[in-house]
Amino acid sequence: MLNKKVKSIILAAGKGTRMKSELPKVLHTMFNKPLLGYVIDAVNKTGYINENFIIVGHESEKVEKFVKENYENSKCILQSPQLGTGDAVNKATPYLKDFDGYVIVVCGDTPLITAETIKNFVEFHDNNHADLTVMSAIFENPKNYGRIIRDKNNKFVAIIEEKDATIEQKEVKEVNAGIYCINWKTISDAFNHLHNNNAQGEYYLTDIVKWAVEKNLNVQSYILKNNDEIFGINSKIHLAQATKTLNKKSIEKLMEEGVQIVDPDTTYISPETTIGADTIILPNVYITGKNTIGKKCKIGPFSHVRDGAIIGNNVRIGNFVEIKKSVIKDNTNVSHLSYIGDSELGSHVNIGAGTITANYNPISKIKSKTIIKDGANTGSNSVLVAPVTINEMASIAAGSIITKDVEAYSLAITRSPLKIFSNWVKKKIEQLSGGNK
């Protein structure tokens, strides 16, 4: 257990020019969750951090809106203009006056970083009584990374950015992972001594290492075990690569827990979704957001489960079905080509092919709820216009549009009477041929 309080500074001010987008880089999503959200969650899940300072810049209003709506323990601080990472961290110093604890610095565009790694990193810093600890990684091809420079005694003495590195320094394979743990009381003064006399004309956060070494402070490096965790998102290509990496990890974990995933290459499952053992996920299933899926279910192929779904045991979700923010209880079938949104389905319900819960009013912008109770069923191509309740064991006839509650054990039908016009096609053909057979 740490004896020090811990706060974080998360760097999220960059424009992300290579993303070619008006959206701030840190608000681009994986499984419908912004990159910044993954980083804040990783920091919070360590159990050590009680306050986060998010450094914002480009489109700051959008980033701040996301943070305010989702994280009570996080505060946004504006960096304008953006003068480098050292300047960014320095923006938080007024909020850390007289703080006697650790401050971790993390980049907001590294969504693969895990709480476990950050927790181990902080504990390493604490156990070594360090003043400053830098997370590092070993790369066979370290291009574009700042190099960890050591003296002849292997003592960590500096970080040199690639643009400022000599040919010899560029051969170093140990690189800066961009994550720092700072003993704030002993290191904070370093931010008063940063200079921008470098190739970029910026204030580098890495220069605090040189300052600490010159002060004979205890500077350590913590070598990362899994280099994927510091993969930074700088383009849409990077975004796709990171999504695949995250998805692979999620799918492998589920399979180890007893979930059968028929084709991992075509299946995408959010890491925030839990799935019970012996559930079968068929190809081309896409599951985003935070969902709970029970045991012995069968989902797909070509199904889409969105955020907020709670699915019980032994549930069948057919092909080309979309589920959104709905509760589906045990032993229920949702057949193919259906949409179930903002709904609550009981047990032993059967949803016929093509059933739609019409949950959204485009005029009022209100989404309403559909409730289908135990044992009820809908015929093919039914439309249930919410708010509406289908009570126990009720049956909806195929092709019906339901706008009122349906009582238990009853049949609801809105189908027009069938009319058959004999020889109608034959007469039309004769008319078009001018009466000539």
Q: What is the DSSP string of 67-123?
A: HHHH-TTEEEEE--S---HHHHHHTTGGGGTT--EEEEEEETT-TT--HHHHHHHHH
pLDDT at 31: 96
**Residue showing tokens 């078009």:** 432
Q: Which of 282, 321, 135 is nearest to 220 (CA)?
A: 135
> Among candidates 87, 92, 76, 94, which has minimal Cα distance to 24?
76
What pLDDT, on the 0 to 100 scale, is given for residue 208?
Answer: 95
Contact partners, residue 72, CB within 8 Å, separation at least 6? none
Backbone φ and ψ for 429, nearest 5 degrees, come out as -65, -40
Query: Does the bond joining 301 to the residue before it have cis omega, within 30 degrees of 0?
Result: yes
Choice among 28, 125, 304, 336 that is catalytic: 336
Which helix or strand (DSSP H or E) is residue 333 part of? Answer: strand 333-334
CA angle 7, 183, 71 (to 5 degrees): 5
pTM: 0.92
d(CA 361, CA 118): 45
Query: In the prediction, which pLDDT does 173 show?
Result: 95
**pLDDT values of the chain reduced to their tens digit, one per residue, 437 residues:** 788 999 999 999 988 899 999 999 999 999 999 999 999 999 999 999 999 999 999 999 999 999 999 999 999 999 999 999 999 999 999 999 999 999 999 999 999 999 999 999 999 999 999 999 999 999 999 988 999 999 888 889 999 988 889 999 999 999 999 999 999 999 999 999 999 987 788 999 999 999 999 999 999 999 999 999 999 999 999 999 999 999 999 999 999 999 999 999 999 999 999 999 999 999 999 999 999 999 999 999 999 999 999 999 999 999 999 999 999 999 999 989 999 999 999 999 999 999 999 999 999 999 999 999 999 999 999 999 999 999 999 999 999 999 999 999 999 999 888 899 999 999 999 999 876 65
Quote the CA–CA distance of 353 and 392 in Å, as a whole number.
Answer: 20
Please name which of 325, 333, 331, 283 lies closest in space to residue 303, comparing C-alpha atoms.
283
For the chain, list the domains and their CATH numbers: 5-230 (3.90.550.10), 236-412 (2.160.10.10)
In this predicted structure, what is the pLDDT of residue 15?
85
What is 158-226 written as a DSSP string? Answer: EEE-GGG--TTGGG--EEEEEEEEEEHHHHGGGGGS----STT-S--TTHHHHHHHHTT--EEEEE-S-
336 is catalytic: yes
How many Å apart are CA 120 and CA 113, to the nearest integer? 12
For strands 29-30 and 33-34, give the pairing.
antiparallel
How far from 260 is each of 278, 282, 319, 333, CA to CA, in Å? 6, 8, 17, 19
